[in-house]
Amino acid sequence: MKKEYFFDEIKALLPQKYPFIFIDRIQEVYPREKIICLKNISGNEWMFPGHFPEKSIFPGVLIIEAIAQASILLFKIGQESSEKEENGEIFLLTNVKSRFLDTITPGDQVIFTCEVIKMYESAGMIKATAMVEGKIVAKADLTFAIKR
């Protein structure tokens, strides 16, 4: 299944709320397998006055947060419709192994690709990359648990 999702649909699926949503669009999704998401980096974003005043750099911790959000979307889109109605799911990041290879700055368009290593009903392992203009700028392996 390949389907694009736009911001309002993403906003409805994520537990995070403004100003903490870091996915603008889902370009492709293959439930329980792979997701490709996009984030446009704007110089007007809230973190840049402090990170850093002289040279705006998108924080590494927010790159990991965007990857985690893409992973949540991958898990939620893959759920059966009856499962989606279940309230009170909390996605807990339990382990992160990451590597940052270059910076992300205003004007960049970041493509996050997350692939399932293992997926269970209440946990998952994801391998992810963040790319700008075809170049990998960050890599991460995430493990998360789902508390109901």
Q: Check residue 88 and give its pLDDT.
A: 75
Q: Which of 25, 51, 127, 139 is catalytic?
A: 51
pLDDT attached to residue 82: 44
Ranges under pLDDT 70 in the chain:
1-2, 80-87
Question: What is the CATH number that goes with domain 7-147?
Answer: 3.10.129.10
Q: What is the pLDDT of residue 78?
A: 73
Domain extents in the chain = 7-147
**Which residues have C-beta within 8 Å of that of residue 133, sequence separation ≥ 6?**
108, 109
What strands, in cross-sheet order, belong to the sheet with 123-132? 25-30, 34-40, 109-119, 123-132, 135-147, 90-100
> Considering the entire predicted model, what is its pTM?
0.93
Concerning whether 89 is annotated as a catalytic residue, the answer is no
**Residue 43 in 3-state DSSP?**
coil
Cα(104)–Cα(134) distance, integer angstroms: 13
